[in-house]
Structures are given as structure tokens and as C-alpha cells.
Structure 1
């Protein structure tokens, strides 16, 4: 079993119903003003213990990075996908999240016959049958693993984006609506990596 409260209870329930390949799915980056939303899907060997595995939000950056590499090494399959800024502006963030998660599930090889999706919505996910698990990143080891892959992948992307647009310090705030980010937006205005619909009510009067 996974460490702490991340037992394989949910996976066991669906396995008993006949599902043979179950993945966990989560996303990162719904709230930032800039950058894509990232999603990950992960299939771990059933019952695998990964010490310290937990919801990515409860871990330090150093711990997430260590688990990031361990998860990729031990997973039977994993996929990371995105929905970009233009798609977020076109479809809204909720639908863009679903799009990114659907793409992550489709990236799995071998594929999953059931997806456990963190949150309360699966509409827009057509890659496989999917069920909602509210608070899943704190309940399911596979969803927790997906939350880490999505978060670390996005953070690494934002560090790379900082080299393209150094004036915005994306390496510091990762695109989130921090005081520093707003100050830089007032000074430089938005760049192509910013989500235009997210800035409508907050820039430049925030």
C-alpha cells in the first residue's frame, strides 16, 4: 500500500468491478495569469509504495522534484499534456483543463480502461471511461503521482519561459497572480504567454 493515507482503496474497488488498467489524472496551473495548463495521467504498478507520495500542494519543491523522477521510473505508463494560452482564452479554463487531461490520458502507452480524475467533473474527457474523485490527490496514489508530474512539468516549463521573457520573472512566480507579477505587468504590459481573458478584470487596475 502507499504511504500514509494514500491507500489503494479506490483502485481496489474499481479493479473488483473488472477494470484492469486504471490511471490517475490531475492538472496544474488553473489559476495563473500566464502559461498553459498542464495535466498528467499515471498508471502505477498496483499496490506500489512510493515513500512520501502525497498531493503535490503538500510537498516542497525539492521533494516534488525527487518524486517526479521516481514516478516516471516506476510507472507502467505516464503522459503529460497541455492546453495553451490561446485554448484557455477560447474555451475557458474549465474546458481547457478537461482538454489537457484528455490529452494526457491519450498519451498513455499502454492505455487505461478507466481514469480516476481529481475533482468533480469529467465532461470533456473522452479518452477512456472516467470517474470523479473529489480531493483525489490526497486519496489515490495514482492521482497524487499525476499531480506531481503535472506540477513539476509546468514549473520546469515556466522556468524555460523565463528565459524567453526575462522581464516577467516567470521563474519566481510561475505565472501566478502575485504582487511581483502584477507589478511587472503594470510596467511591461502583457506578453504572448499571458492569458488575455484572465487579465480582463485584473489588469491594469489590480
Structure 2
């Protein structure tokens, strides 16, 4: 299906209106998964012409996405990844976990960006970051599209590695999302150490419901960030 390639329109606008010179595109993957971390990539691209075919990672075949990710790793000016583990998601809720992963990614860049383009309509980063939210930014903004592809390929690789010890869950195929194979294995074997235990899917599994955790942080509460490691692979 044809699609419009991403542009630098938002980056140029931020440069003109705010004076920002270093602008990072930020996108996440894994928000809706039942297992594994939520992963955020921050990518700085400048205003160079992007590789052909760059777009939202979800619109690409696995083969093309992997090829583009390999190209992007050397094409971008810089990029960094941040993760929030299932334990952190359970303890803090998804909004705070997203911020945790995003800050880890942004602070992993060699130079702190002057502004951030965040995919979606909700600013989960907040102060002190200068944020511009863009709905479908992973399709329309070059830096966000680049972050989308790198984050997706990296997290898929991580989930495949995790799945090596839990073959019945097929993490290499579903990346921790609730596919039929994943759901069947979960009902039969119960959650792995990589599952998010505060999520509602456990309510439908009476044999495993006793494992459900109650969040120690209210959803949306953003606690102090204690470190940079996140999910250690």
C-alpha cells in the first residue's frame, strides 16, 4: 500500500520557532504487550534525506524492517535505547514506565537534545524536556520513524532471546503480545518471569490469579528515576 514518506517539517518548525538545533525523535514499542519490557528509542537525524522506504515500523515487513534498522544505525546522527522492565511497569504503571524508558534513552544520547518530537498525542515526558507531540509521528516525521524502526527491531530481538527458555510462548513470533499460542501457553503454564503481573489478563486465569500484583505507584505518577540500566540483557 503506498504511503507518503516522512519529512523534516516538524523539525524545521521547531528550529524556526524555538531555536532548537538538536532534535530527537522518540518512539516506543511494547506498550500493549503482556510480557517483556517497554522499549523507547531516541534518534537524532539532522535534516538529511532519509533512506528510501522509511516509515512507521508497523507498516514494514519483517525483512524490510530489519534491513532498514541496519541502515539506520549508521545513517542517524545518534540514537540510544531505554527500557523499563516488567517489574517497573508493575510497580509504577505504564505512563511512568514510559517516561522512565524515554529518559534513559534521551540521557543515553551523546548530546542532550534541545527538543523532542514524541509520537502520539500524550506527553508522557513532561518537564524539563521541551516536547512536541505528533499524532502518527512515526509516519510523518523522519526522526520519529527512524526511532520507531530501531526500537521495534531491537525489542523483537530481545524477546526472541528471552523466548529461548520459554519456547511454548513463541516470544520470537509474538514479541510478548497476546497471540493465540501465547495465550494458550499462559493458561497452561502460567506467567514467566518476563510477564507483567499487574495486568488484567490474569483476571481471566483463575489458576494464576493469585500471582497478580497491585501497583505501588498510581498510574501517571512519575517517581524519581534511580538509574540508567532498566531491563538488563
Counterpart residue number, 1:203: 205
Task: Return the alpha-carbon distance in structure 2 between the equivalents of residues 127 and 168 of structure 1.
Answer: 40
Counterpart residue number, 1:43: 44
Counterpart residue number, 1:170: 171
Q: Secondary structure at the match of 1:52?
A: coil
**1:21-32 matched pairs, under 5 angstroms:** 21-32=22-33
Task: Return the alpha-carbon distance in structure 2 between the equivalents of residues 88 and 191 of structure 1.
Answer: 15
> Post-superposition shift, 1:129?
1.6
Task: Return the alpha-carbon distance in structure 2 between the equivalents of residues 66 and 98 of structure 1.
Answer: 29
The answer on whether the counterparts of 2:41 and 2:147 sit within 8 Å (CA) in structure 1 is: yes
**1:12-27 matched pairs, under 5 angstroms:** 12-17=12-17, 18-27=19-28
**1:141-180 matched pairs, under 5 angstroms:** 141-180=142-181
Correspondence 1:131 to 2:138: no
Counterpart residue number, 2:4: 4
Task: Return the alpha-carbon distance in structure 2 between the equivalents of residues 127 and 63 of structure 1.
Answer: 36
The answer on whether the counterparts of 2:27 and 2:40 sit within 8 Å (CA) in structure 1 is: yes
Inter-CA distance 180–10: structure 2 relative to 1 (3 Å threshold): same
What number of residue pairs does the alignment pair up?
A: 203
The answer on whether the counterparts of 2:6 and 2:141 sit within 8 Å (CA) in structure 1 is: yes
Deviation digits for residues 145-201 of structure 1, max 9, x if unmatched? 001111111100001001132232211211111111110011111111110012333
Provide the alpha-carbon RMSD of the alignment.
Answer: 1.7
Q: Give ranges in structure 1 of 5+ residues lacking alignment.
A: none
Q: Secondary structure at the match of 1:41?
A: strand
> Post-superposition shift, 1:27?
0.2
Q: Give ranges in structure 2 of 5+ residues lacking alignment.
A: 208-233
Deviation digits for residues 103-153 of structure 1, max 9, x if unmatched? 111111122110100012224445632221111111101000001111111
Q: Secondary structure at the match of 1:16?
A: helix
Structure 1 range deviating more: 78-87 or 163-172: 163-172
Inter-CA distance 153–184: structure 2 relative to 1 (3 Å threshold): same
TM-score (norm: length of structure 1) = 0.92
**1:19-98 matched pairs, under 5 angstroms:** 19-98=20-99
Deviation digits for residues 78-114 of structure 1, max 9, x if unmatched? 0011000001111112221222112111111122110
Q: Secondary structure at the match of 1:167?
A: helix
